A and B are shown apart, each in its own frame.
Chain A
Amino acid sequence: MDGERKAPRPLDGVRVIDLTWLQVGPQATRLLTTFGAQVIRVEWRDRKAIDFIRYTPPFAPDHARADGGRIQGVTRGHGIAGNYDRGAYFNNTNPGKYGITLNLNHPKGRDLLKRMVRDANAICENFSPGQMDKWGLGYEDLRKINPRIIYLQTTGMGKAGVYKDYVSYGPTAQAFSGLTFLSGLPEPQPPAGWGYSYLDHSPGYFGAIMLMAAIRRQRSSGIGCYIDMSQCETGLMLSGTSLLEHQITGKPTTRYGNRMPFLDWAPHGAYRCFGDDNWIAISIQSDEQWRSLVEEMGSPQWAMDSRFATAAGRKSHEDELDEKLASFTIGCDRYDLMRRLQVRGIPAGVVQKAPDRFDRDPQLKARGYYVDLPHSEIGTWPVEGFPARLSRSPADVGGPTGRAAPKLGEDNNFVYRELVGLGEAEIAELTREGVI
């Protein structure tokens, strides 16, 4: 609105040079744009240097265009480079960021980056360990240029330590730290693990927490820092009580499927409902809830069995209990059953798939969770939102750009001219030399 002064954002005036790629680094910087930081994604056009996520399918359909909205449709081959600006996943991971191209293999490219570091608050990267040092752009190098700089480096194992040169992606870190093992049915069944790279996400959240703590300190005292962030250590942080239990009992950690070994809750699991691969999760926390469930089922003979009357009894006959309960749920519509159980105060929830969450979930709709953002080539598409409402400084996933992800090099003009202060001739020359 005209004349209305925009409320300050928590990270107003914060500039972040973002050399990250794939998921774990971009996740951290995504959360900074959400609270107002100016995040400048630095990329290069070479096939070897380009963010793999830029050409990870699926892509926006052929008819998607800058002034269009979301309509699903056919995507034909645009070639890899033709898809750089059309990726669904990339668009969801990088909203609110500025995008520039800069060739760090060129000495002038590295000089230009150093020039940008002078005015930056933070720099983030998740290259293979040692890459930045090779370029002369490691923390100790950049600190000489800007002593206040905050440097976040995210790697699988961590930059310091015995395995500092080991290669690790999210799934590697999950396997190594124990998170893959912990997920799944009891042995001898194999682990089920994770259906995605959990450790490309949580370390990103940690990165954001630390960057914001560091920015606060930098604002008040001018001190920067180096953050050697390890995906594997994050995995250990997230391994629950398994490490402690092992130290107390000396026994190897076990898996327990969807059951709850730490409380006297039973039944506790996913039960099949009517339809194709439809499931409901039910957690019975007390005898009272159990009696309500029995009533809701119409008090069948099997459920009146005295063995099931107490938590201890249900726990010790859990296999049979699960089988019997499943024989009831299989005839039920999953959402109808969820409603009926919740009315009785029983924790129950449909195992929701993507269409359930995106098209149907009334809670996400009411809270405005998905956010529509424009993209300069493929038009307006929804991106995933921030899970909390802040009353005075609301999350804004569109960040300072108000856009979804940047096209490759989309903001070269704005960044090099307005922020870095390069002249017309200089830009032309650097372009000609293959630097920007």
Chain B
Amino acid sequence: MNEDLSLSSSLADLTVLEIGDQIGDYAGLLLAGLGAEVIKLEPPGGSPSRRIGPFASSAPDPERSLFFWRYNLNKKSAIVDVDRLEAQAAIEKLASQADIVLLAGEFEAVERRAETWRKLAEANPRLIVCSITPFGLDGPYRALKATDLVQMALGGIMAVCGYDPQPDGTYDTPPIAPAMWHSYHLAGEYAAVAMMAAINFRELTGQGQFIDLSVHEAVNTCTEVAIPTYVYSGMVVKRQTARHAAPNITHARLSTSADGVFMLANLSPFEREQRALAQLADQVGIGHVLGTPEFAQLEKEDRVAAAVYRNDLLVEVVGSLPANEIFHRAQAQGLAWSPIRRPEDNLDDPHFQARGSFAAIEHPELGRTLRYPGTVAIDGRTPHFSYQRRAPRLGEHTEEVMRRAGLDDARIAALRAKAAV
């Protein structure tokens, strides 16, 4: 069977122009992973995201930003200063050929550009313009300044992440914004959802439209029970170490393996899981009373003491073996335990190798390949999101894009002289 039902080229008929800063890179990456042609229109000095580290060089270098590399796979880069009048003819032509324009960044810049692109959309009514700004294009906060950290704070994720309070209930540690770049991840995923909805709408009606996405709202959607809990009960969830925020402080959950790795290991009250723990304890030769009439009696008389006993046993079991061994043994017993891995611990994991979860991307400037994450789903054999090309060098595709915009060599040279392309 050699049919390819993967979605990796399902957007191959779409051209996306991406304009702006790091807020929008990930949204474009998602469309590029499904086959869309994504062209970054960068100012002569390069996109702001080229200045974000870490770098594959000892000093910051816009061609060696790992942030830029990671979030701009498969894309093309053309130097076009979209804010310069001289570039307008080229932009009009590009707009007439494009399906989606992504405008990302701070409010002032995006609002100004949105004005231009709304006009361009009059000539191409099929054009979808998607703006991504920290707070959306209207409302009292629209012009506030934000960073990933500030978005995670205002959006509510920080308040539910962090460490346990002290025994008296007060916190001596700050709320934590989980690293890294999750406000932009959320915005990018929702922008992709909205753009896919707009594309489907266009198939039905022939009409494009304007999308106004707020990073603030995207972060707000993603705090799980925090809002429903408050709305229905008036209770406010409290942050606690490496487990769900809840109105009460729940059992501490971290344990440590024999090789010093933190484990996510916990037991649900189900009988099945208690038997699984007993099996594990037996395997590693730790004596216990689980499953005995004595323990059944304790459970009846003192549930808290029984829970403490179980938890102590769990901690002892986890501490008896290296993390990976505990992981496989626990999973064999049907326990959803996992070591708290560093991301790179997965690079050579046989599971991800078997699934082809990493894309090996050639980096001629390094003389090597780098493995990028990107596959989030496969069709059984091949990835749905697929990445083959490293991020573009600044202006790598300017000529190609300008020719498509109908410019000949002389006009390209003239614009270059004015530093507009």
Contacts and interface: CB of A to CB of B under 8 A. Distances in A.
A364 B219 CA distance: 12
Given A57-B233, A72-B231, 8 more contacts: A176-B346, A193-B178, A196-B226, A239-B373, A248-B370, A270-B158, A281-B149, A367-B138
Contacts of B299: none
* Chain B interface size, under 10 / 10 to 19 / 20 to 34 / 35 or more: 35 or more
Given A58-B232, A182-B180, A217 B227 contact: no
A213 B196 contact: yes
A268 B199 contact: no
B153 interface: yes
Nearest to A128: B334
B340 interface: yes
A23 B216 CA distance: 22
A92 interface: yes
A228 B377 contact: yes
A393 B228 CA distance: 27
Contact of A230 (B155, B226, B236, B376): B376
Given A202-B185, A236-B343, A262-B53, A243 B372 contact: yes
Contact of A212 (B162, B193, B350): B193
Contact of B243 (A193, A247, A277): A193
Contacts of A269: 149, 174
Interface in A1-59: 8-12, 23, 31, 35, 56-59
B231 A70 contact: yes
Interface string B47-79: 000011110100000000011011000000000
A419 B242 CA distance: 45
B232 A180 contact: no
Given A248-B66, A346-B145, A390-B198, A196 B225 contact: yes
A242 B180 contact: yes
Interface in A380-429: 381-382, 384-393, 395
A419 B52 CA distance: 53
B34 A243 contact: no
A366 B130 CA distance: 20
A367 B346 CA distance: 41
A243 B180 contact: no
A237 interface: yes
6 contacts: A193-B241, A193-B340, A271-B174, A352-B155, A354-B229, A393-B198
Contacts of B154: 281, 349-350, 352, 361
Contact of B227 (A92, A161, A191, A220): A92
Contact of B376 (A200, A234, A242, A393): A234
Interface string B223-252: 111111111111111011111110000000
Nearest to A271: B174
Given A162-B354, A349-B151, A362-B140, A195 B342 contact: no
B220 A384 contact: yes
Interface in B115-157: 130, 135-136, 138-142, 144-147, 149-157
B190 A388 contact: yes
A280 B150 CA distance: 9
A-B pairs, 5 with minimum CB distance: A178-B343, A387-B217, A195-B160, A183-B178, A193-B242
A224 B5 contact: yes
Contacts of A76: none
B354 A176 contact: no
A22 to B, nearest CB: 11
A225 B6 CA distance: 7
A219 B203 contact: yes
Nearest to B347: A243
B335 interface: yes
A358 interface: yes
A10 B201 contact: yes
B82 interface: no
Interface string A237-261: 1111111111110001101111011
Contacts of B11: 213
A376 interface: no
B190 to A, nearest CB: 5
Given A8-B204, A191-B242, A243-B373, A201 B222 contact: yes
Interface stretch (B93-101, B206-214, B284-292, B305-313): B206-214
Nearest to A14: B200
B180 to A, nearest CB: 4
Interface stretch (B38-46, B314-322, B378-386, B402-410): B378-386
- B130, B139, B200: most-surrounded residue (chain A CB, <10 A): B200
B177 interface: yes
Contact of A216 (B10, B130, B146): B10
B377 A176 contact: no
Given A206-B376, A224-B5, A257-B176, A163 B153 contact: no
A374 interface: no
B236 A355 contact: yes
A172 B264 contact: yes
Contacts of A385: 217, 221
B392 to A, nearest CB: 16
B204 A238 contact: no
Interface of B: 5-7, 10-11, 30, 34, 51-54, 56, 66-67, 69-70, 130, 135-136, 138-142, 144-147, 149-163, 170-171, 173-182, 185-187, 189-194, 196-201, 203-205, 207-218, 220-237, 239-245, 254, 262-264, 331, 334-347, 350-352, 354-355, 357-358, 370-381, 384
A131 interface: no
B306 to A, nearest CB: 22
Contact of A382 (B52, B231, B335, B375): B231
A100 interface: no
A116 interface: no
B327 to A, nearest CB: 8
Given A195-B162, A229-B376, A391 B211 contact: yes
Nearest to A173: B338
A209 B343 contact: no
A355 B226 CA distance: 9
Contacts of B140: 362-363, 366
- B226, B230, B231: most-surrounded residue (chain A CB, <10 A): B231
Contacts of B146: 347, 349
Given A167-B334, A349-B153, A258 B244 contact: no
Nearest to A169: B336
A179 interface: yes
B399 to A, nearest CB: 29
A70 B234 CA distance: 12
- B156, B182, B230, B343: most-surrounded residue (chain A CB, <10 A): B343
A397 B190 CA distance: 14
Contacts of A366: 138-140
A369 to B, nearest CB: 6
Interface in A263-278: 263, 265, 268-272, 277
